[in-house]
Amino acid sequence: MSILDNVNLPDSADSSAVRAYIAAQGARSFANHADFLHPEIVFNGLVLNATGAERIAQEMNGFLPAIASLEVEAAAQVEAGATSRYLVLYRFQLQGQPNAQPLADHVTVKHGKIVRVDNVFDVSLLPPMG
């Protein structure tokens, strides 16, 4: 099963960027991030708050190995135009944790490059840390 199996987005440069972002997560590698991330992207999440494609790619490459499984449940374009917005719903499981958790990315794309990702999940489902 491919991580893109449940991704049915319209054909466009913006949708291609979202597909590439999802595929990079599935491959556990952001080596080709310049293809889909804007150089000044903003990533806003619980685990990572960062700006800049290079930094985000480096952080993602460091974090992705901690994920035991990642499956896209649905992906939808919620706004189209000069700025396109997408919602991607996942289930992910961290290494060593018994249960998968829901996760959502709200992705903003302009001119075929992702300019912002807002990463949201239910923190009450995270395992205790410390």
Residue 128: per-residue pLDDT = 57
pLDDT digits over 66-75, tens only?
999 999 999 9
Domain assignment present for residue 1? The answer is no
Count of Cβ atoms closer than 10 Å to residue 125 Cβ: 12
Domain interval for residue 56: 13-121
| Structural domain contains residue 4 | no
The percent of residues in the chain predicted with pLDDT above 90, rounded, is 69
Mean pLDDT of the region 6-19? 94
Rounded Cα distance, 84 and 48, in Å: 23
Q: List the alpha helices (DSSP H) in the chain.
A: 13-27, 53-63
**Taking a C-beta distance cutoff of 8 angstroms, is the pair 13, 20 a contact?**
no
Q: Is residue 126 part of a domain?
A: no
In a domain, 63, yes or no: yes
State the chain's mean pLDDT as an integer: 90
Residue 84 sits in a domain whose CATH number is 3.10.450.50
Phi and psi of 8, rounded to 5°?
Answer: -120, 90
* pLDDT tens, position by position, 15-36: 999 999 999 999 999 999 999 9
Banded pLDDT at 125 (limits 50, 70, 90)? low
pTM (predicted TM-score): 0.90
Residues in the chain: 130
Is 5 domain-assigned?
no
Indicate the pLDDT class of residue 81, thresholds 50, 70 and 90.
very high
Q: How many domains does the chain have?
A: 1
Please give the average per-residue pLDDT across 47-69, as a whole number. Answer: 92
From residue 36, alpha-carbon distances to 6, 13, 69, 74, 96 in Å are 20, 9, 23, 20, 31
Q: Is residue 6 part of a domain?
A: no
What pLDDT does residue 47 have?
78
